[in-house]
Amino acid sequence: MSEPEASKDWVNPLRDSRDKRLPRIAGPCALVIFGVTGDLARRKLMPAIYDLANRGLLPPGFALVGFARRDWRDQDFGTIVHDAVREHSRTPFREDVWDRLAEGIRFVQGSFDDADAFAKLASTLETLDKERGTSGNHGFYLAIPPNAFPLVLKQLSDAGLAQSEDGQWRRVVIEKPFGHDLSSARELNAVVNEVFPEDTVFRIDHYLGKETVQNILALRFANQLFDPIWNAHYVDHVQITMAEDIGLGGRAGYYDGIGAARDVIQNHLLQLLAFTAMEEPISFEPSELQAEKIKVLSATRLAEPLDETTARGQYAGGWQGGEQVCGLLDEDGFASDSTTETFAAITLEVDTRRWAGVPFYLRTGKRLGRRVTEIAVVFKRAPHLPFDQTMTEELGQNALVIRVQPDEGVTMRFGSKVPGSSMEVRDVNMDFSYGQAFTESSPEAYERLILDMLLGEPSLFPVNAEVELSWEILDPVIERWAASGKPEPYEAGTWGPPSADAMMTRTGREWRRP
């Protein structure tokens, strides 16, 4: 839906609006959060909104509305937001910023099946439009379980909150999971798009808001250094890893029956693959960026046979961080015969001229050796013709490693001569760290994504086609695993089950140990 220029985003008229380095400030708007009593809202969303306000990126009349069943008044909700901000915000707490933000905080009590509550929500937003100048621009953040989406969306539609008039916008934000397989994803997309057109739907994948993920685009397309070797002629394989050292205590209600593949590979890791393997877009306009990601995902397929090119596991008890921890089957809420995998690894191939023959290895797991997310582009070995074997016996393969978290940055691994009279070559690392190179700390992912939604900037949000293509890729693995019994156990604090190592050994490769 087209929008008049004045309603998109406000730019200081004293500055040159053509300068892309200047921050964009959201225009007049209100944000409604469903699920404000949940952990996500308290730890991430409310602090992110304050941090945006603290950075001067929200309009003076911005309004925040909470919707929940609690018997709260506006000031009660304001206290909840205040406490969440003081505990979890990234930027320093400033009373003047908080006071301005608090003026626009409202709360509506009601359940999702209460039509009167949604009528009250509509009335509250109408009042805010007049009092705060929010101009009928409303975003709705569904920080709720997916099974509640249809009811909430219908209520928003019935209350007239999903429809916009000329000069206004209405947008909806959806948290993952985007379905649990291809069929349910298509059904969910249909339910959402029945109420909100696709260009007003923002599916949050918080990994895409991380500074280092966006830096993949800068690294690849702003530097001539990497483009000539970013292809099958020079790249041996790519490893994309998201490892966590924590277990699943207290998360059985969400995780049991979902598993690592659905939880992480379908969204986070396949999106990282798309950024790594995509062709250069014509521009960074959302439609161009999304088109290139869709092309890559359309060309991505599972390597066969699945019994040899995939692996899954379930953590058992062991020692981690100096303490003894229990296995998944002993965690509260998990059945003693649960077949939910906590480790998943798959091998993918991208059937394009650039990547033909280059395997992409994706893995994720709980209770692994350490917390790390990285993309490792591992290059083919040099011929070493001038050297004899003893000179290079300790030399590994060159690699470019993009560290997404926790130590954001980029590492290059290459061979260098060891000081001395003999010719001996060993691996050395050249390291770039965000924390050391820039004085300003990276914004939290939710800061970037919430602001992009308020600005109507969908570049970092997966569209329908991306979600459905991801499920098309993953569904055969999940079906195969469902028919093959229990996952293989692995000791907590290690890097996964033996089958994951065997999966790599078959091709003469090995996993990185970050």
Catalytic residues: 268
Contact status, residue 456 vs residue 8, Cβ threshold 8 Å: yes
Q: Identify the bridge partners of residue 431 per DSSP, sorted by sequence position.
A: 411
3-state DSSP call for residue 377? strand
Nearest to 121 by CA among 29, 32, 28, 27: 32
Residue 370: which of 213, 512, 514 has the closest Cα? 514
Per the structure block, which two tokens stand in for 343?
A: 């480790």
CB 360 within 8 A of CB 504: no
Interior CA angle at 481 toward 476 and 486, to 5°? 175
Rg (CA), the chain: 24
Up-side HSE of residue 348: CA atoms within 13 Å toward CB?
A: 32
CB atoms closer than 10 angstroms to residue 232? 15
The whole-angstrom separation of Cα 486 and Cα 263 is 18
3-state DSSP assignment of residue 370: coil
Is beta strand 63-68 parallel, antiparallel or unpaired with respect to 105-109? Answer: parallel
Q: Which helix (H) or strand (E) holds 46?
A: helix 46-54
* Beta-carbon count within 10 A of 19 CB: 8
Q: Is the peptide bond prior to 23 cis by the omega test (within 30 degrees of 0)?
A: no
Which two structure tokens, joined as six digits, stand for 24? 């964009």
- How many residues appear in the chain? 514
Strand ranges inside 40-97, DSSP E: 63-68
Q: Which two tokens stand for residue 204?
A: 């949050």
- Please state at what angle helix 95-102 crosses helix 74-88, rounded to 10 degrees: 150
Q: How many CB atoms lie within 10 A of CB 193?
A: 14
134 Cα distance to chain centroid? 29
Name the token pair of 101. Answer: 């933000």
